[in-house]
Amino acid sequence: MIARHMQAIGKNLSAREIFDMAASRPDHLYRIAVAEINAWTFFREHNHYPSLEEIQDPQPEVTYYIRTTSGRECYRYENGSWIHMGGIPDDVYQ
């Protein structure tokens, strides 16, 4: 997923190259986790989106994750309104 994202934004890196680059850093698990979240958001997968406006047909009882500069905000759509459920900061993966 991360390699597919990198290729989509013009960086021709294989999954192995990405892993090797991350593994050489002390915070590699954090970097991999955040890179995967960024990829999910880019491709709008696993209910991850860049903004609420990107969600075309929100479903009730589904949690949606909106990417922010420092984490994700969680929302649910109930009775025609968005309900903010809280946030998950990126540094929780450190």
Global pTM reads: 0.82
Q: Is the pLDDT assigned to residue 33 strictly greater than 80?
A: yes
**Residue 23 confidence (pLDDT):** 82
Q: Are strands 48-49 and 63-68 parallel, antiparallel or unpaired?
A: parallel
Residues 7, 15: Cα–Cα separation, whole Å: 10
Tally the domains of the chain.
1
**Residue 20 confidence (pLDDT):** 85
Range(s) of the domain holding residue 8: 2-93
Q: Is the pLDDT assigned to residue 94 strictly greater than 80?
A: no
Q: Is the pLDDT assigned to residue 17 strictly greater than 80?
A: yes
- For residues 28-47, average pLDDT: 91
Residues 17, 23: Cα–Cα separation, whole Å: 10
